[in-house]
Amino acid sequence: MHNLALSAKKASVKQNTFDPMSKRLLALVIGLTLNAFGNGLTISSNIGAAPWGASEVNLAHLFHVNIGIAMFVVGSAVAVINQLLLKKKDFLRFAGEIAFIASFSCFINLFTGFFTRIGLPQAPLAWRIAVGFFGIAILGVSISFYQRANLIMHPNDSTTNILRFLYLKNNVVRAQFINFLVPLGMTGICYLATRHVYSVNIGTLVILLVNGPMIAWTDRHLWHSLHHNVKQPKAIHD
Q: Which of 153, 138, 141, 163 is nearest to 75 (CA)?
A: 153
pTM of the model: 0.75
Look at phi and psi of residue 170 and say left if phi exceeds 0, alpha if psi is from -120 to 50, else beta.
Answer: left
Distance CA 119, CA 117 (A): 5
**Count of residues in the chain:** 238
User: What residue spans of 118-171 are helical by DSSP H?
Assistant: 125-149, 155-162
pLDDT in tens, 157-168: 889 889 988 999
- Between vectors from CA 74 to CA 28 and to CA 90, what angle results, nearest 5°? 60
How many angstroms separate the Cα of 192 from the Cα of each of 86, 120, 149, 185, 207? 32, 29, 39, 11, 23
Confidence tier at 43 by pLDDT (50, 70, 90): confident
The pLDDT, as a whole number, for residue 76 is 95
Number of H helices, E strands in the chain: 9, 0
Answer for the pair 199, 48: CB distance below 8 angstroms, yes or no. Answer: yes
How many angstroms separate the Cα of 193 from the Cα of each of 72, 190, 200, 201? 21, 5, 16, 19
pLDDT in tens, 87-124: 888 999 999 999 989 988 888 888 988 999 999 999 99
User: What residue spans of 87-124 are helical by DSSP H?
Assistant: 91-117
